[in-house]
Structure 1
Amino acid sequence: MPLLHIENLSVSFETASGAFLAVDSVDFDVDAGERLAIVGESGSGKSVAMLAVMGLLPPTATVTADRLEFAGRDLRGLSPRARREVIGGDVAMIFQEPMSSLNPCFTVGFQIKEALAAHTDLDRKGRQERAVELMRQVGIPEPERRLTAFPHQLSGGMSQRVMIAMATACRPKLLIADEPTTALDVTIQAQILDLLVELQKDHDMALILITHDMGVVAETAQRVVVQYAGQQVERQDVFGLFEAPHHPYTAALLDALPDRASGNRLPAISGVVPGQGDRPQGCLFNPRCRFADETCRKVVPPRQPPELGEALCHYPLHREEKAA
């Protein structure tokens, strides 16, 4: 049984001009100890889907799913109290922009120990010792002194490490990392990714990594879900995805990697992800796809079989190779 099972998850938001479908019929499983990447441009519904799992969307959001289960437990029908026992304990999330995710009014030590007080039976001394252990575990020097620091006294990289310490404080079974290297310089990005993978392996927890960086996917993930305009357009293991992408959008993302580019300019995907008022008929990617024809522009594409990456496409790439 998978640790997290999502089937036909959709999220819509009520706006002044009507309902906006931000996540459209997403399906995937995550096994214990597995590293899964969700990749796509901004606006593809990656973060919204995971916030729906966490139960952190605003009242304007409507979440529907045929199944939404964690460790065999149905998350859809949980009371707020029961959900709080799961979220923050067994399931934790590292949010984007650590400088804005940490509360500026409290020390980082208070914020780490607050999670421990909510989800463990540790006394005050035990929470202090555990907080020091966590700070040391994520590579923060002088952990006892740093626990008394306020967020504004820490660098971006240090703040991200504090967020990781908070998220892993209760030894979660599933950790969701939402763009954990955003706004960090390249050397710090590599350190944070290495730290996440190290913690994932040490604690045998599942890791969902939300990113738009295919280089990060190649270095950290075992399986990949590709999203576009709220839809899941492809799902493969990382080696198969990089070797033979089946959806044109996935192929275009990979073609933009510097080590794959030929010539003096990187290839780019023209246009932008469609929003509420400009969603095209047929395939949502068709205005930006170099393979699109009249069928793509008028008919909603079918879901291809697993051997073709479950691509949401009329004409999946490399289909002849798979058939052979």
Structure 2
Amino acid sequence: MSDPTPLLRIRNLSVDFTTSSGLFRAVDGIDLDVASGELLAIVGESGSGKSVSMLAVMGLLPWTAKITADEITFDGTDLRNLSGPARRRLIGRDMAMIFQEPMSSLNPCFTIGFQLKEALRQHLGLNARDRHARAIELLEMVGMPDPERRLKAFPFQLSGGMNQRVMIAMAIACRPRLLIADEPTTALDVTIQAQILDLLTGLQNDTGMTLILITHDMGVVAETAERVCVQYAGQKVEDQPVIDLFDHPYHPYTAALLAALPERATERRLPTIPGTVPGAFDRPTGCLFSPRCRFADDTCRGTQPPVQPPALGRARCHYPIGATTPQKVTQ
């Protein structure tokens, strides 16, 4: 599902990390269009390159990362060659990110209020009184109890859920057009998870911002997303509207993820995907999923698969399920 003028456009994005043993490719040829106001979910196991691909877009990867891309544009602005000052003006104002671990993302040496007001001072140039009023307003928006008192608290004095709300408040402080939420409910209990997700989707509906949700929880995807991008070993392997993906996955990896959902289980023991995501030195020659795929043949193991057309979910597979192969995946 491609928009003629997407807010975010990525073409052939790859990220290599320099290690003591050589280069490790964490992201491999990602193409992605995200429309203005869209809610996109990026899913996949740990090690699939979900966070790394979005950190590359934000320019937040360390010096050990080598980023290459044919195109990375945000609202027509080329992000690949932005100067430091230009990037700092853009990131945090028009593009923002909620990080996975709030306790490691917030500075333990400064109060919540100081860190929240710093973004307002840097990007909006508000005076001290306006910054204070806006900080209280933001904490109220994210459902923080007694927001004025919380401004004086340090991160260690708040619970994980409260710190996550602070991270969301900082991310939306300048009313960004694009918000990337990197596993925002990790390590939170189920009740708080639901509250955070409701908060994010509510903010998206109220402000019209574009939201990219990075997660490995297919249940969260089913409840929140409009479109789903499935990643595996750094590659995008499927891209469909959420209802279509759940009704008819075309890539065996997507089908295996869905088959592992408890509500879809037909036996007492949940099905699993054997093996692990390939690392730096065990990447297959052909399809990266072939060592774990029950339907892989010599073609899969020896030749890199093509990307199928949108009618087949843009699946990166030689034999999309239900299209060119008689085999079926039990779901």
TM (normalized to structure 2)?
Answer: 0.96
Give the match for residue 110 of structure 1.
114
Give the match for residue 223 of structure 2.
219
Q: Is the 8 A contact 1:175 1:207 kept in 2?
A: yes
Q: Is the 8 A contact 1:40 1:227 kept in 2?
A: yes
- Counterpart check, 1:119 vs 2:123: yes
Give the match for residue 28 of structure 2.
24
Aligned-partner residue type, residue 105 of structure 2: S
For the residue of structure 1 that corresponds to 2:11, the secondary structure is strand
* Displacement over 6 Å in runs of 4+: none
Give the match for residue 6 of structure 2.
2
For 2:51, which of 47, 50, 53 is the aligned residue? 47
Report the Cα offset of residue 98 of structure 1. Answer: 0.8
Q: Is the 8 A contact 1:38 1:208 kept in 2?
A: yes
Give the match for residue 146 of structure 1.
150
Give the match for residue 62 of structure 1.
66
Alpha-carbon distance between aligned partners in 2 of 1:262 and 1:279, rounded to the nearest angstrom = 32
Give CA-to-partner distance per residue, 1:113-160, whole Å, 9 cap, x none.
000011002111000000000000000011000010000000011110
Alpha-carbon distance between aligned partners in 1 of 2:291 and 2:127, rounded to the nearest angstrom = 59
Report the Cα offset of residue 100 of structure 1. Answer: 1.2
- Counterpart check, 1:188 vs 2:189: no
Report the Cα offset of residue 77 of structure 1. Answer: 1.3
Q: Is the 8 A contact 1:112 1:131 kept in 2?
A: yes
Give the match for residue 97 of structure 2.
93
Aligned-partner residue type, residue 14 of structure 1: T
For 1:176, which of 174, 180, 201 is the aligned residue? 180
For 1:263, which of 247, 267, 286 is the aligned residue? 267
Alpha-carbon distance between aligned partners in 2 of 1:320 and 1:194, rounded to the nearest angstrom = 40
The sequence identity of aligned pairs, in percent, is 71
For the residue of structure 2 that corresponds to 1:210, the secondary structure is strand
Alpha-carbon distance between aligned partners in 2 of 1:314 and 1:29, rounded to the nearest angstrom = 23
Q: Is the 8 A contact 1:9 1:64 kept in 2?
A: yes
Report the Cα offset of residue 283 of structure 1. Answer: 0.5
For the residue of structure 1 that corresponds to 2:144, the secondary structure is coil
TM (normalized to structure 1)?
Answer: 0.98
| Structure 1: runs of 5 or more not aligned | none
Q: Is the 8 A contact 1:179 1:211 kept in 2?
A: yes
Give the number of aligned pairs.
Answer: 321
Q: Is the 8 A contact 1:245 1:318 kept in 2?
A: no
Q: Is the 8 A contact 1:39 1:227 kept in 2?
A: yes
Give the match for residue 311 of structure 2.
307
For the residue of structure 2 that corresponds to 1:304, the secondary structure is coil
Give CA-to-partner distance per residue, 1:75-99, whole Å, 9 cap, x none.
0111000000110110000001111
| Structure 2: runs of 5 or more not aligned | 326-331
Give the match for residue 160 of structure 1.
164
- Counterpart check, 1:230 vs 2:234: yes
Report the Cα offset of residue 320 of structure 1. Answer: 6.3
For the residue of structure 2 that corresponds to 1:259, the secondary structure is helix
For the residue of structure 1 that corresponds to 2:264, the secondary structure is coil
Alpha-carbon distance between aligned partners in 2 of 1:237 and 1:118, rounded to the nearest angstrom = 37
For the residue of structure 2 that corresponds to 1:215, the secondary structure is helix
Alpha-carbon distance between aligned partners in 1 of 2:253 and 2:21, rounded to the nearest angstrom = 29
Alpha-carbon distance between aligned partners in 2 of 1:312 and 1:45, rounded to the nearest angstrom = 16
Aligned-partner residue type, residue 311 of structure 2: E
Report the Cα offset of residue 319 of structure 1. Answer: 1.5
Give the match for residue 288 of structure 1.
292
